[in-house]
């Protein structure tokens, strides 16, 4: 069973093209599911993959019922999505006759109005990092880039040094489904990143992962959770009475562009939304057009 799970993990990364963030979440969910199954079948990890045919929709429902405490509907929906993806893989490999997770209803996730910051709040947040020159410049560059380009936090932490083109003022991003896109950056973000790169070597011993753009004190690649903790620290410094996550800065990016009259299609392109596949049937927004949209509408361009 362990080897089969490793094959699924490889499928997520190499065939399905999942982001590292999605891959990590799916594998955590799958580990939790097998921990649950081991209470029913103690020797399941030594079984052949075909043993998974014993899992039916009621087993999946029972597992979700065990996991629901203190978890939001969106978290439960993701756990179900993880199982659907795994059992679809099992179905493709011929180890199960059907996908039991597909027969389980997705928890209703209430639609929420996206939270966002005002321009003044963003500027206050950007100005908050100080103190240690290496870490302070890194944190400032991260906040500038999140707001300047609307990246997902998983996309941000996956960036390498060569993902950034300061001369062209662009960043090359690997989005969901391993789809690459080029996103403009403003002058302020470029300046903040250039400043950080001058200090980055101080955080990177020779043994460190050299390619990662944003690194921690030990020279390792920053994680999404580390970025969230960093933001929370500066929110307290600013005295903002709002819950701010990296995704709130992504919403803020889009909201400020819309409020300044930017074209919706251009914003969708900048954000790398999957729904663009429909939009692109009718309209192709070139990089030059995106730069014009960005320069005209973004407050810090």
Report, as residue numbers or ranges, the catalytic residues: 152, 176, 247, 250, 273, 282
Beta bridge mates, 212? 160
CB-based contacts of 120-125 (< 8 A; 24+ apart in sequence) = 121/238, 121/240, 121/242, 122/147, 122/249, 122/252, 122/256, 122/299, 124/238, 124/240, 125/231, 125/234, 125/235, 125/238, 125/240, 125/244
Instruction: Note whether 293 and 266 are within 8 A (CB).
Output: yes
| Inter-CA distances, 152 with 39, 116, 220, 251, Å | 37, 15, 20, 10
Instruction: Note whether 146 and 250 are within 8 A (CB).
Output: yes
| 170-174: strand order across its sheet | 164-165, 170-174, 180-184
* Polymer length of the chain: 301
């Amino acid at each position: 069973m362990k080897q089969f799970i490793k094959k699924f993990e490889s499928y997520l990364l190499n065939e399905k093209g999942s982001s590292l963030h999605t891959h990590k979440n799916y594998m955590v969910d799958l580990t939790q599911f097998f921990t649950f199954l081991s209470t029913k079948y103690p020797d399941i990890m030594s079984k052949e993959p075909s043993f998974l045919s014993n899992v039916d929709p009621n087993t999946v429902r029972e597992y979700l019922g065990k996991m629901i405490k203190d978890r939001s509907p969106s978290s439960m929906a993701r756990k179900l999505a993880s199982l659907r993806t795994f059992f679809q893989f099992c179905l493709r490999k011929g180890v199960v006759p059907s996908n039991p997770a597909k027969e389980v209803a997705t928890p209703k996730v209430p639609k929420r109005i996206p939270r966002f910051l005002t321009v003044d709040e963003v500027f206050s947040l950007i100005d908050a990092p100080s103190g240690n020159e290496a870490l302070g410049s890194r944190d400032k560059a991260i906040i500038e880039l999140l707001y300047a380009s609307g990246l997902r936090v998983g996309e941000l932490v996956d960036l390498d040094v060569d993902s950034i083109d300061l001369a062209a003022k662009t960043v090359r991003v690997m989005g969901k489904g391993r789809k690459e896109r080029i996103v403009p950056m403003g002058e302020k973000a470029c300046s903040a990143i250039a400043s950080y790169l001058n200090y980055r070597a101080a955080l990177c011993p020779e043994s460190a992962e050299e390619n990662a753009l944003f690194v921690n004190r030990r020279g390792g690649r920053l994680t999404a959770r580390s970025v969230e903790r960093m933001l929370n620290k500066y929110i307290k410094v600013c005295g903002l009475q709002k819950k701010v996550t990296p995704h709130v800065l992504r919403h803020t990016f889009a909201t400020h562009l819309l409020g300044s009259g930017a074209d919706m299609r251009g914003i969708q392109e900048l954000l790398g939304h999957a729904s663009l596949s429909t939009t692109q049937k009718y309209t192709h927004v070139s990089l030059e057009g995106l730069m014009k949209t960005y320069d005209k509408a973004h407050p810090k361009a």
